[in-house]
Structure 1
């Protein structure tokens, strides 16, 4: 409660505020909206977590109502007098000109509210647009996803991969998912993990091809992954994509 009171005092003292909002789903697959507030007091910028609210439906009406209710519960009606901007992703449900969330919030406040498209989201969209149709990226992306799934759903494969890492005393870094999130840093981490563990992964995949080491279907997958990871064009693709992230 002390922390909440401190946040309320900051918002009360600030002469303006902006709302940052994004959608998600909880463990029960229910839609939810998370809300932050950003304000400044004597040139000290603060970003404050306000809360999470479940929404019956992820449309403009329900999301804007959830945001409004969260803000009003904390700050009564005063937040409407200070709101100057909203930061969201670029989805039409958020930025739609006629019935988007920002438009609905603007109508509630009867004052100018500037819509700010999340810079991280814009970078992601620009990156995806730049590599769209690039075969080398599509090949590397699909390979990383398949390797991730190959180890994620097999405790035996993970255990044997761990042993492959331990034999040369390497730190084990598991392959991470590249298709489950849109953010560029997760793609970069997936690339780094595959390159870091390349030798250990290749060693384990080679072992799986020995007679009696794995089921036929697993052995066939291991053979395909092994061949792809040993291909110099694949390695070049991994390194090139990682360089693009660092550019």
Structure 2
């Protein structure tokens, strides 16, 4: 009877854990967990009335993360060698964040696993180095010095803070691990090379200015966006708004802007023709 009772309780908790996992994976707030439970109950699913608050959802998410973190730590501890991949970005609160992944190889199979996202109050070489150490110690549950024997490489962008020969992050890490190999991200280097090739060409400069002007024309005016939506419907094309070019991910942003332009080109011609007639 006790075994059956425990299994019934476990089955009910499994449903709630899956709900919390879905909310976290799709960036939904934990407050939605309450009505999700009510929805599951209305579907006839056997769920209990306890653990149905947003605080309970946060606790479930914490334990899910701990299980995943333990799995990553085991993979790294079992591997002979490991390397780190990292990049920095600014979040919506204008705070510097460093996202860090760990890369291992087991039986010829390469695995890249998420390690952590670290706040970096001061994004200089010292601050980023401290973020890496915190990430390893919290994500792998080991002292950073114990990670050195298998720490063989780190891939970053080419910023001076990361790859500076005298006081960069890689140089700081090499003081403790002289055999460490620092790598400038190949995809980032390829993107920079492509931009260096075309940035001085007049055709590219004209295209870049056109895409930027088109973005600003609709981004800064609600009426223009509404008229473009109507033009898309009239032209039978998908409703899209021109996107911004440039930024750190130059190639994907430019490609996205060109794809949008190609899909809504008839609607753009229709709207700009109507706009020109009204101005005349």
How far apart are 1:118 and its partner, in Å? 0.7
How far apart are 1:181 and its partner, in Å? 3.5
Number of paired residues? 212
CA contact (8 A) 1:53 1:66 kept: yes
Match of 1:73 in 2: 138
Match of 1:184 in 2: 251
How far apart are 1:97 and its partner, in Å? 0.8
Q: Relative to 1, partners in 2 of residues 1:169 and 1:136: Cα closer, same or farther, differing over 3 Å?
A: same
CA distance in 2, matches of 1:74, 1:168: 52
Match of 1:216 in 2: none
CA contact (8 A) 1:120 1:183 kept: no
CA contact (8 A) 1:121 1:183 kept: no
Q: TM-score, normalised by structure 1?
A: 0.81
Match of 1:29 in 2: 94
Unmatched runs of 5 consecutive residues or more in structure 1? 212-218, 224-247
How does 1:8-27 map onto structure 2 within 5 Å? 8-27=73-92
Match of 2:225 in 1: 158
- What SS does the corresponding residue of 2:174 show, helix, strand or coil? helix
- Computed over aligned residues only, the root mean square deviation of the Cα atoms, in angstroms, reads 1.6
How far apart are 1:122 and its partner, in Å? 0.7
Q: TM-score, normalised by structure 2?
A: 0.72
CA distance in 2, matches of 1:194, 1:157: 16
- What SS does the corresponding residue of 2:105 show, helix, strand or coil? strand
1:95 equivalent among 157, 163, 172: 163
Match of 2:8 in 1: none
Match of 1:244 in 2: none
Match of 1:237 in 2: none
CA distance in 2, matches of 1:132, 1:157: 30
Matched, 1:44 2:116: no
CA contact (8 A) 2:235 2:266 kept: no
Matched, 1:114 2:181: yes
CA contact (8 A) 2:229 2:240 kept: no
Match of 1:171 in 2: 238
CA contact (8 A) 1:88 1:116 kept: yes
Match of 1:136 in 2: 203
- What SS does the corresponding residue of 2:205 show, helix, strand or coil? helix
Question: Which has the higher Rg, Structure 1 or Structure 2?
Answer: 2
1:58 equivalent among 111, 123, 143: 123
CA distance in 2, matches of 1:132, 1:189: 18
CA contact (8 A) 1:36 1:50 kept: yes
